[in-house]
Amino acid sequence: MTILDKITADKIKEVALRKSLIPVSQLEQSVLFERATASLAKAVSTGSGIIAEHKRRSPSKSVINNSLSVQDVASGYEQAGVSGMSVLTDGKYFGGSLDDLLLARAAAQFPLLRKEFIVDEYQILEAKAYGADAILLIAATLSRKQIEQFSTFAKSLGLDVLCESHNEKELQKSIMPSVDMLGINNRNLKTFEVSLETSKELIKQIPDEFVKVSESGISSVEAIKELKPHGFQGFLIGENFMKTDNPGESAATFIKQLD
């Protein structure tokens, strides 16, 4: 059982509990549910391409940064010129929550991605109700039918969809019109090793109509300069900024060096 299998099994139980506590009608009555969303795919393809993350901890790295306020991180990232922000909302393994999404939304206007292990349409309604503009789907945990179901539902709510793959098999089942961005995760789920070669190899199979995003292990400007000629427009950066005292400042310095 991989860590992803474990997280997914826990997530199914967690979502069942949340569904029993907060009905769909309550989510649909949220003030933010009526909000017009901003396209993360468009922001990535026309801006710096950086999707900067808010992440307190992870199963592979334990604590990254517990001391910063989400609002400060969000406004710092926005001022730095990132294209969007990924907000981890998983509590058990990453120390996040839906409230983090709400606080980020209150502090910034740029597109927000709800980074979560999505196993149910209910979580997509939550994303919309808490101010997200986009959702993440993880191909490793979903069937092609589920990817199609969840991405189509997200699009009906005005949300963009980033679907991430770790290998060729996962990528092939993710290619469909209801997905906006195809992400290649450079981390091997079995060994946790990271290699940019994964992105370079798999991008050859991504059709041009998709926004192409590389994820995991991108901690240097050199890595982005290495990946861009292969056709990547987006770069999800998780721990690099969050392990500093001022993620916004760190992102601003990073983006200046990209020019």
Active site residues: 53, 55, 115, 164, 185, 215-216
Tokens describing residue 210 = 């998709």
On whether the CB atoms of residues 236 and 213 are closer than 8 A, the answer is: yes
| The two three-digit tokens of residue 153, written as one number | 């539902």
How far apart are alpha carbons 15 and 160 in whole angstroms? 22
Q: Which residue is listed with tokens 């990946």? A: 227
Are 49 and 227 a contacting pair, CB within 8 Å?
no
What is the H or E stretch that residue 149 is in?
Answer: helix 144-156
Strands 160-165 and 181-185: parallel
Name residue 112's beta-bridge partners: 85
Residue 86 to residues 89, 134, 149, 153, 181, Cα–Cα distance (Å): 9, 9, 22, 20, 14
Q: Which residue has the tokens 């919309």?
A: 128
